[in-house]
Amino acid sequence: MAEPYLYLAPAVALLVVWTYRPLVQAAQLSTYSWNLLPTTPMVPVGTDNYRRLLELPAVGDSVWRTVVLIVGLLPFTLVLPVVVGFATRGVHGRARAIYQSLIFAPFLVAPVASAAVWQWLLDPGAGIVNRVLGSDTNWIHEPATAQWVILAITGWHFMGFAVLVVSAGMAGISGDYAEAAQVDGATRRQIDWWITLPLLSPTLVFLGLMTVLLSTQWTFPLIDTLTQGGPSQATTNIYYLLWDYGFHSFDAGLSAAAGIMLFAGFGLVAGVLVWISERISFHDD
């Protein structure tokens, strides 16, 4: 029976050519020294690229900045959406639909347009933020604030999505449990904490995965258009560093080695999150 394979053929072929072949090639490339020019030969260097990665302080710094970014995004993608979800259960109908459409809108703004409008809002002289605050901080180009700007824009982008995912998750929880607990004399707070929240855990694990796997990648266009990794590397996270090694320093081997380490790290984080979710998730069925 060849039929299912025929239907799958185009998708699998594309998957192999554009995802798994390059993954394997990146693994190979990571053991070579090469400057991306077709005319220069690739020199095999064994594990040198990995050794350099571990020794370069820039790599450790950028990984640390990525971790800070992920942790900094959790309030936007997990904490606030859950708080908002609980605080707004009583709001229904047309009003809710209007609020939701406004809250979701930033998720649809193109990243470069987001970067453009935030650059305008935060302009040191003419921007509305400084004129309202009466300050002259150059938010985007000062090392102390640049990373926070990237974090705030990314949080602004993803929060509406997370709020809607949480409220959809809460809407999907059967009221029978709360009702039964109420009959048993549980307070509202106890119901929220011991019934609703655990039943929401699959949604929360999903949002956690999204934060780790997607939202930090979304910072790339912001960084590329606003700061180019600066000032003094303050916004260079691991994604931007990979790009920088590949297309600015033309160090293909180093970039590929960093990419493979990133892939391994991702696999580990995703595996741990899925494992945790299987241990702690309470399924509503």
Partner 1 sequence: MTTSESAVPEPLWRRARGHVVLVAIALVCAFPIYWLLATSLRRPDDVGSLSPVPWPLSLGNYVDATEKVDVIRLLANTFAVSGVSAAGQLLVALLASYAFAMYSFRFQRLLYLAFVGTWLVPFQVTMLPNYVLLYQMGLINNLVGVIVPTLCSALGVLMLRQHMAGFPKELVAAAKLDGRSSWSILWTVVVPNLRPALAALSILLFINAWNEYFWPAVVLQRSNAVVQLGLRSFMGTEGNDWGPMMAVAGLACLPVFVLYVVLQRHIVNAFVRSGLK
Residues in 143-172 at the binding interface with partner 1, rule: CB under 8 A: 156, 159-161, 163-165, 168-172
Between 51 and 179, name the residue whose CB sits nearer to partner 1.
179
CA dihedral 241, 246, 247, 251 (to 10 degrees): 110
Output helix, strand, coil percentages for the chain, rounded to the nearest 5. 75, 0, 20
- State which H helix or E strand residue 91 sits in: none
Least spacing, CB of residue 86 vs partner 1, in Å: 9
- State which H helix or E strand residue 111 sits in: helix 111-121
Between 5 and 185, name the residue whose CB sits nearer to partner 1.
5
Of the residues 188, 194, 232, 284, which one makes contact with partner 1 according to CB under 8 A: 188
Stretch that binds partner 1, among 55-63, 143-151, 235-243, 276-284 (CB under 8 A): 235-243
Give the span between the Cα atoms of 223 and 191, in whole angstroms.
43
The 10 Å Cβ neighbour count of residue 166 is 23
Least spacing, CB of residue 128 vs partner 1, in Å: 6
Give me the phi and psi of 220, to 5 degrees please: -55, -55
Residues 26-45 touching partner 1, rule: CB under 8 A, are: 26, 29, 36, 38
Residues 260-279 touching partner 1, rule: CB under 8 A, are: 260, 262-263, 266-267, 270
- State which H helix or E strand residue 110 sits in: none
Residues 67-126 touching partner 1, rule: CB under 8 A, are: 84, 87-92, 95-121, 123, 126
Residues 214-233 touching partner 1, rule: CB under 8 A, are: 217, 220-221, 224-226
Site string for partner 1, 43-62 (x = CB under 8 A): --------------------
- Distances from the Cα of 83 to the Cαs of 37, 77, 107, 157, in angstroms? 52, 11, 19, 18
